[in-house]
């Protein structure tokens, strides 16, 4: 990002797609449904999950393959396969393609995005990358297996967050529980189901207000860092 100032630089966002979709599919979903006045404020990065899909994709009727997974799980979401490898994969993405200001996730990607913030607070992973400044979570949930959740979730996650909750989403209740993990979550409700939702007038205002707040916070942090650097140089 060279010599760009914080005011000139867009917020860089790592986007984690849903189960058995892809980064390209999420890019089409997001940019096709969200207005430019919102998307133009971000610098998105849309990677694919680490493994090819091991079964049928729910989006086959709408988007062509390839499809990818972040990790696998059993029917009651109590056992997760390749989750540790997935976490290492995402951390490597953040090292190679970051630094990232925030994360945006849908479904399985939302679950992981929230987990990144929790694990950074607990110090159980993502210690080699800068602290995430915000998350945008669509159709999210918590990991439910106790031995997994214990490593991920602190009592409260202080990272600023936006949570999209669909009235017809089968994960609505789980998404509400996830939002309660965060301090002062911003909630955007919509009438649809398990999907990347469109933004209407009110939700656009909410998102723009959230972005303004994050940009102001990042600018303040940048100023504080400069002051600390000057003070250190004076001492030296």
Q: In the predicted model, what is the mean pLDDT of residues 169-181?
A: 96
Q: Where are the alpha helices (DSSP H) in 103-191?
A: 108-122, 146-152, 172-179
pLDDT digit string, tens, across residues 27-37: 999 999 999 99
**pTM over 0.85, yes/no:** yes
* 181 close to 152: Cβ distance less than 8 angstroms: no
pLDDT digit string, tens, across residues 43-75: 999 999 999 999 999 999 999 999 999 999 988
147 closest CA partner among 73, 69, 80: 80
- Enumerate residues 6+ apart whose C-beta is below 8 A from 52: 66, 67, 68, 69
Q: How far apart are CA 229 and CA 224, in angstroms?
A: 9
- From the CA atom positions of the chain, what is the Rg in Å? 18
Q: How confident is the model at residue 22 (pLDDT cuts 50, 70, 90)?
A: very high
Residue 61 backbone phi and psi in degrees, to 5: -75, -15
Give 105's strand partners.
16, 137
87 closest CA partner among 47, 139, 126: 126
Which pLDDT belongs to residue 170?
95
Which pLDDT belongs to residue 220?
74
What the chain holds in terms of domains, given with CATH numbers, is 11-210 (3.40.50.1820)
Cis, peptide link before residue 134, omega less than 30° from 0:
no
Which pLDDT belongs to residue 74?
87
Higher pLDDT, 98 or 2: 98
Question: Quick count: other Cβ atoms within 10 Å of Cβ 152?
Answer: 24
Q: How confident is the model at residue 221 (pLDDT cuts 50, 70, 90)?
A: low
Q: Which of 62-66, 114-118, 160-164, 229-233 has the lowest average pLDDT? A: 229-233
* 20 close to 67: Cβ distance less than 8 angstroms: yes
Give 73's strand partners.
80
């Amino acid at each position: 990002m060279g010599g760009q100032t914080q005011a000139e630089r867009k917020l860089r966002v790592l986007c984690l797609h849903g189960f058995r979709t892809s980064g390209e599919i999420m890019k089409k979903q997001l940019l096709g449904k969200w207005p430019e006045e919102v998307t133009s404020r971000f610098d998105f990065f849309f990677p694919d999950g680490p493994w090819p899909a091991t079964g049928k994709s729910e989006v086959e009727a709408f988007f062509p393959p390839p499809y990818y997974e972040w990790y696998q799980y059993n029917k009651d979401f109590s056992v997760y396969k390749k989750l540790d490898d997935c976490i290492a994969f995402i951390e490597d993405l953040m090292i190679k393609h970051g630094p990232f200001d925030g994360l945006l996730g849908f479904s399985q990607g939302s679950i992981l995005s929230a987990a990144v913030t929790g694990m950074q607070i607990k110090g159980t992973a993502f210690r080699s990358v800068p602290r995430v400044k915000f998350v945008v979570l669509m159709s999210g949930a918590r990991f439910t297996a106790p031995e997994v959740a214990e490593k991920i979730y602190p009592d409260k996650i202080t990272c600023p967050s936006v949570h999209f909750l669909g009235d017809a989403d089968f994960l609505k209740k789980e998404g509400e529980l996830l939002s309660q993990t965060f301090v002062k979550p911003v909630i955007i409700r919509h009438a649809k189901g398990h999907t990347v939702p469109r933004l209407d007038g009110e939700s656009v205002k909410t998102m723009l207000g959230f972005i303004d707040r994050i940009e102001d916070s990042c600018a303040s942090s940048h100023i504080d860092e400069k002051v600390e650097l000057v003070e250190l140089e004076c001492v030296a």
